[in-house]
Amino acid sequence: MPVSDLHSSCLKCLGESHVKERCQICKSFRPHTQKEQGIRLRALLMESTLRLAFESSGFPAHWAMESKAAVEAKPNGGMVLFKEEKPEMEARGQWSNKIEFMLSVAGEIVGLGNVWRFPYLCYKNGGGAFFIPYLIFLFSCGIPVFFLETALGQYTSQGGITAWRKICPLFEGIGYASQVIESYLNIYYIVILSWAIFYLFSSFTAVLPWATCNNPWNSDCCVDFLNHSNLENWTAPANATSPVTEFWENRVLGLSDGIHNLGTLRWELALCLLLAWVICYFCIWKGVKSTGKVVYFTATFPYLMLFVLLIRGATLPGAAEGIMFYLKPDISRLADPQVWMDAGTQIFFSYAICQGCLTALGSYNKYNNNCYRDCFMLCFLNSATSFVAGFAIFSVLGFMAQEQGVPISEVAESGPGLAFIAYPKAVTLMPGPQLWSCLFFLMLIFLGLDSQFVCVESLVTAIVDIYPEVLQKKGHRELLILAIAVIFYLLGLMLVTEGGMYIFQLFDYYAASGMCLLFLAIFEVISVGWVYGADHFYDNIEDMIGYRPSPLIKMCWKVVTPGVCVLFGFAAFEMQHGSFLDQHETKASDNALMANWQEQLLCALLSLHVCEEYCLGGCLCRSQ
């Protein structure tokens, strides 16, 4: 039977649920269609009866229709003559075109990790040799799960929770667990934007405030290493600190002595955080109508800035040495399990899998959109961006190392250390440092903003799809987004206190860590590959795009991805636990408690729903 005829077949004949009225094979209505058909016939009969009653009473017949009280037939055969007008319901919405979808997904997956984490991991783990484990995890886990979530959202047209409910109610807890991770991200990820906004405002000064030690927040230990690097027989004090480090720790963070001392609220950061949430709110408050337009700028501007910084970095002295340091392969590093751990973690986090985002974004696609081709294009774009960003970053670090006369390994950092210490220090050595500082932090803001408002949109979509009869009413969605923004802003205030950086590190270390994402990835591929059925899902995908994807994807769902994730999970647990105790010995009990609590919560969300479905005698899968 042609694919076009599948839309006219019923669940009984071909297992297809998209039939509109009557099956073209057995000529029967679906069960609920029969019920709806009967209701419509009774409504027409009662409408005719009412029209005759109006005419016989001397009233115009059209009064029966023009009055706001329409005739309604109840399923039990009763009739309501004067029906209360229902509030206006808004349509769920779709992307206006494919470009909006592509830019939205690109904005989500291409984020801060591509700029401040991947280049450092590449240098740290053997340069060019790091691409071997990176590509293995990309093709065995990254692309298969990325495609699974996107196709699931497009097929069901539902968010991260109800999509799993539709295809496999037994594993609906996967959706709830992914939204827990999403909520963690919404609390702490946007704090990075508040730091970048603070640095951006601080860049509009005649002299960058982190360039000298002549500021009120500088201590007696502050030393401008650049001014002393050319002096002979000069030795830095043992406890010396640089002005850029003191600006970060004393001026921006007001860092306390530990997590036990949160201190006071940093009101300037709180205002920057508020500004970030206001921008985020107005980017998504109209759903895909506004998000689809905003991403034309927010998703493309970072690439422009990255290109400008790449060209500028390549023209600096010492750039070649930095790039060689970035790419020089060290095959012996592949024997270190930590290299493989870093590659797997980078793939899971940078591709935003197991977070519900891809399912939500895919749900706004047209039903026949070629999501298979889109996924490969987006995955290539994400990895290529990470690779190119390494050239932009390490060319500047090579220049900074040459200017200071130190090895590149002493200036190379990862995470916030790169974005708010190493790179700001590098721009102070360039001509026109204010310009390059503004461009760099604008790039960080837009990279983070895309990821942030897609995270919020994903959570909103999941909630709206659970309660559509309430939240799809006109104006209710905007109120929901406002409530979410206010709640997460208030929760985020604890991260902009003097001890907030320690809480941020806890969230960053555990909230969306490899362990949590691995745990969900295993359940996702098992539920689709084995419970719902990989062949059945391939039939659904063929109905959407017109052909079946490569059988290698199906093999990954059923065997390769769960096997790799299980092996990776055991190794990650052992290594993460050991390194955690070594690096955070003084706070081991607190951190271990939080990690244990979160993992138990995720397990409970999954297992409790499985028990509920089992005890209530629910079916294993709606399609079977």
For 501-514, write each residue's pLDDT tens digit. 988 988 887 777 66
pLDDT higher than threshold 50 for residue 72: no
Length of the chain in terms of residues written:
624
Q: What is the CATH number of domain 98-622?
A: 1.20.1740
pLDDT single digits (tens) 138-160: 999 999 999 999 999 999 999 99
pLDDT band at 226 (very low <50, low <70, confident <90, very high): low
- Cα torsion at 472, 362, 115, 266 (round to 10°)? 10
- Angstrom CA distances, 275 to 32, 269, 272, 497, 500, stand at 49, 10, 5, 17, 18
Label residue 49 by pLDDT band (50, 70, 90).
low
Per mean pLDDT, which range of 35-49, 135-149, 475-489 is the poorest?
Answer: 35-49
> CA 379 to CA 376: how far, in whole Å?
5
pLDDT-derived band at 296 (thresholds 50, 70, 90) equals very high
Does residue 77 surpass a pLDDT of 50? Answer: no
Burial class (CB in 10 A: 0-12, 13-18, 19+), 374: buried
pLDDT at 519 over 50: yes
Q: How many C-beta neighbours within 10 Å does residue 486 have?
A: 12
Whether residue 187 is predicted with pLDDT greater than 50 in this model: the reply is yes
- The pLDDT value recorded for residue 585 is 41
pLDDT tens digits, one per residue of 256-285: 888 888 889 999 999 999 999 999 999 998
Question: Would you tell me how many other CB atoms lie within 10 Å of the CB of residue 545?
Answer: 20
Geometric angle at alpha carbon 494, from 222 and 478, rounded to 5°: 130
What is the helix, strand, coil percentage profile of the chain, to 5? Answer: 70, 0, 25
Model confidence at 131, in pLDDT bands (50, 70, 90)? very high
* Encoded tokens for 506: 């806890």
- Tell me the pLDDT band of 290, cut-offs 50, 70 and 90: confident
- Say if CB 480 and CB 471 are below 8 A apart: yes
Tokens found for residue 120? 């450092």
Q: Residue 589: what pLDDT?
A: 46
pLDDT class of 622 with cuts at 50, 70, 90? very low
Query: Which segments are annotated as binding site for Na(+)?
Result: 107, 110, 114, 350, 382, 447, 450-451
Residue 349 confidence (pLDDT): 86
pLDDT band at 195 (very low <50, low <70, confident <90, very high): very high
pLDDT, position 621: 45
Average of per-residue pLDDT across 320-343: 88
Q: Which element (helix H / strand E) includes 610? A: helix 588-615
Would you say residue 45 has pLDDT above 60? no
Cα atoms in the Cβ-side hemisphere of radius 13 Å centred on 517: 29
- pLDDT recorded at residue 616: 59
What pLDDT sits at residue 418?
A: 82
Res 614: pLDDT = 55
Please compute the mean of the pLDDT values over residues 365-388 and round it to a whole number.
Answer: 95
For residues 454-481, average pLDDT: 91
Confidence category of residue 87, pLDDT binned at 50, 70, 90: low
3-state SS of 418-483 is HHHHHHHHHHCCCCCHHHHHHHHHHHHHHHHHHHHHHHHHHHHHHHHHHCHHHHCECCHHHHHHHH
State how far the Cα of 148 lies from the Cα of 364, in Å rounded to an integer: 15
> Which one has a higher pLDDT value, 349 or 48?
349
- Give the model's pLDDT for residue 232: 53
Q: Which range has the top average pLDDT, 126-130, 508-512, 534-538? A: 534-538
Asked if residue 345 has pLDDT above 80, the reply is yes
What residue numbers does the annotated binding site cover?
A: 107, 110, 114, 350, 382, 447, 450-451
Cα separation of 514 and 509, whole Å? 9
Question: What's the rounded mean pLDDT across residues 32-50?
Answer: 52
Local confidence band at 492 (pLDDT 50, 70, 90 cut-offs): very high
Q: Average pLDDT of the chain? A: 80
What is the pLDDT confidence band of residue 463, given thresholds at 50, 70 and 90?
A: very high
pLDDT, tens only, 564-575:
988 887 776 666
582, two tokens: 């070594």
What average pLDDT does the segment 406-432 reach?
83
Tell me the three state secondary structure of residue 45: helix
φ/ψ of 543, rounded to 5, equals: -65, -30
Q: Report residue 4's pLDDT band, with 50, 70 and 90 as the boundaries.
A: very low
Query: What's the whole-number mean pLDDT along residues 235-246?
Result: 75
**What CA dihedral angle connects 449, 455, 461 and 462, to 10 degrees?**
-170
Tell me the pLDDT band of 213, cut-offs 50, 70 and 90.
Answer: confident
Number of H helices and number of E strands within the chain?
Answer: 30, 2
3-state secondary structure 387-407: HHHHHHHHHHHHHHHHHHCCC
CB atoms closer than 10 angstroms to residue 363? 27
Helix or strand holding residue 73 (H, E): strand 72-73
Tell me what the mean pLDDT of segment 347-370 comes to: 93
